[in-house]
């Protein structure tokens, strides 16, 4: 008979597996550290954005209060600018053309006032007699059909030679 002796093989230590395990543990640790750092950074950014949002709201409030306190001045300036633009874009030809078209001898235009808001015009005229003033008004009414011109008042000027009539002509 033969004697069969079997030897138990000693297991080899799996150095490759242990090395791979250690490397994966190190890699997992570094990922965990990066995650923790990213989370801290994210929380810091959220906190900073909250602070910036609060500061922005405060600045908006201060700007609004400054605008409210300065608003009467700003509104007044805006009204002045609007009035200037309105007068620059106003159709002065419609106002002056009827007056310029009339040639009445013995009548002179002394002053001209026009209110853009109400479209009323006031003419201060000087004439040699009342009939010349009436003829001038009649011609104004014929040429300018949209307005009704009339003599508001007149006065004899006896100090001047020859005697003249000063009259105020208005439109409706």
What are the extents of the domains in the chain? 15-89, 92-171
CATH 3.30.1360.100 fits 92-171, yes or no: yes
Phi, psi of 158 (to 5 degrees): -85, -15
Tallying the residues shown for the chain, one arrives at: 172
Coil vs helix vs strand at 83: helix
**Rounded Cα–Cα distance for residues 102 and 14 (Å):** 121
pLDDT in tens, the chain (172 residues): 677 777 777 778 889 999 999 999 999 999 999 999 999 999 999 999 999 999 999 999 988 887 766 667 777 888 888 888 888 888 888 888 888 888 888 899 999 998 887 888 899 999 998 899 999 999 888 887 777 888 999 898 888 778 888 999 998 7
């Amino acid at each position: 008979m033969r004697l069969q002796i079997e030897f138990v093989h000693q297991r080899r230590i799996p150095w490759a597996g242990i090395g791979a395990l250690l490397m994966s543990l190190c890699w997992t640790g570094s990922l965990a550290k990066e995650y923790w750092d990213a989370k801290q950074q994210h929380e810091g950014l959220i906190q900073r954005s909250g602070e910036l949002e609060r500061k922005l709201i405060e600045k908006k409030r201060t700007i609004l209060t400054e605008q409210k306190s300065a608003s009467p001045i700003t509104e007044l300036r805006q009204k002045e600018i609007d009035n200037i633009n309105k007068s620059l874009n106003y159709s002065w030809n419609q106002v002056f053309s009827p007056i310029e078209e009339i040639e009445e001898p013995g009548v002179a235009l002394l002053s001209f006032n026009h209110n853009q808001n109400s479209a009323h015009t006031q003419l201060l005229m000087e004439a040699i007699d009342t009939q010349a003033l009436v003829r001038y008004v009649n011609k104004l009414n014929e040429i300018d059909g949209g307005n009704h011109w009339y003599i508001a008042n007149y006065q004899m000027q006896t100090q001047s030679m020859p005697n003249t009539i000063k009259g105020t002509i208005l439109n409706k």
